Amino acid sequence: MNTIEVEEGWNNQAIETCDTLPNTKNEVNEKRNYYGEKYWKGTKFARPTYYKDELEKLKAHRIPVHAFFIEQRAEAVFKQIVNETGGRCEMLDINSSSSSQMLTDLVTEEILRNVRRSTKGNALVEAY
């Protein structure tokens, strides 16, 4: 039986879907203050997160971010994110029956592409 080796481990891509713009640092703090830090300390979100800080971590590990925006107003920010990480960006029509296939195709193609990060990976994508 042949095995497929994925280069760089399994943490080699991130997929983001969103219907709005990312929160600013001020918005993160305001929204956290609504429930109070005591509430947040008891969750997996005890530490505040900000998308630009998280983006820098992904870039440092050369992890492409693939972004699907639901609302047009998020397009510019999502395109900036994928341009900085080498990912793909597309509009996701949640009312379309083809949207789940589009997500499935993206994930499958990127997994296949990472099989060898060479012509073999691209050939697998073409065969798919």
pLDDT digits (tens, 9 = 90+) for 91-120: 999 899 898 888 888 888 877 777 765 667
CA distances from 51 to 55, 76, 119 (A): 6, 14, 33
Among 5-9, 81-85, 105-109, 112-116, whose mean pLDDT is lowest?
5-9
Domain shared by 83 and 44, yes or no = yes
Domain shared by 27 and 55, yes or no = yes
Domain count across the chain: 2
Q: Please give the residue range of the domain that contains residue 107.
A: 94-128
Domain shared by 23 and 36, yes or no = yes
CB 90 within 8 A of CB 68: yes
Q: In whole angstroms, give the CA distance from residue 112 to residue 125.
A: 6
Domain shared by 54 and 82, yes or no = yes
The partner residues of 14 in beta bridges, in order of sequence, read 65
Residue-level pLDDT at 11: 67
Domain shared by 27 and 84, yes or no = yes
Would the pTM count as exceeding 0.85? no
Domain shared by 49 and 87, yes or no = yes
